[in-house]
Amino acid sequence: MPEGAERLQKVLADAGVASRRDCELAVKAGRIRVNGSPVHKLPCWVRPGRDLVELDGVVVDTTRRGRVDRSAYVYVAANKPRGVISTARDPEGRPHVVGLVQGLVPRGQRVYPVGRLDSDSTGLVLLTNDGELAHRLAHPRFGVAKRYRVTVQGRLEGEAIARLRRGFYLADSDSIAHSKGTTGPAGTGRRAAIDDIKVIKTFRDRATGDVSLLDVTLREGQNREIRRLLARVGLRVRRLERVAIGPLQLRSLKPGAARRLSRAEVDSLKRAVLLS
């Protein structure tokens, strides 16, 4: 054990991510990286403030010791524009989602995005320093639905919809898939599937042909899962926007804008993950 090292789940809990037990589950689910490498087994020892620890791609501030006081919890919704990344900071200097909400976060406090949207996608991102709520919203065990409005090139019809609901094996060793607890042949990946998908409308674009607007629901997700699944049935995603996380709705929030959640919205999110 390196000098000054502590158990990973203790360091995560002390940083306010979640309870130690939930931090252990996050490790076993492959959601934690230490110094760039995924951790799947415990014990794992880290040096707070020296080793780089990430949860779902978000850097955890391990210099913080002790949980955030509940009265100091902050909950912010942002509409992420295209080209903004879903992290708290970026060594390459790219714009990140935390930068959208700085004016809504009290001095001395920090918030982190719950889950991810890839750079090309837009829409609703929840940011908070409530580690327990963030963990439960992201964890597959709680099955919180995320809804997306997706524009694709092509026409989506019955057989393709059925195939998307049945799912495909997607190779992605570092992320959580929407799975029935099964892995593909010879460890090729997990079965990923779309929970619900509806065709809102299909129209003809003079320049590119058929275009379909879809309403897609996922309860778990791998990296770029919707894009990869739709590609399996021959559809290219032109635009992907997240419009809801559980009961929280994007509504009329403009791209690049952010707002604090109401007490009723926070309570509804907590009820969705059995925290109230």
Residue type, 150: V
Instruction: Give the separation between CA 34 and CA 52, rounded to whole angstroms.
Output: 6
- Whether residue 104 contacts residue 47, with contact meaning beta carbons closer than 8 Å, is answered with no
Active site residue 51: no
The greatest distance separating any two alpha carbons of the chain, rounded to the nearest whole angstrom, comes to 66
- Whether residue 233 contacts residue 62, with contact meaning beta carbons closer than 8 Å, is answered with no
Full DSSP string of 7-31: EHHHHHHHTTSS-HHHHHHHHHTT-
Full DSSP string of 219-265: SS--TTHHHHHHHHTT-EEEEEEEEEETTEE-TTPPTT-EEEPPHHH
Place of tokens 């001395």: 108
Active-site position among 61, 118, 196, 210: 118
Instruction: Give the separation between CA 19 and CA 22, rounded to whole angstroms.
Output: 5
Catalytic residues: 118
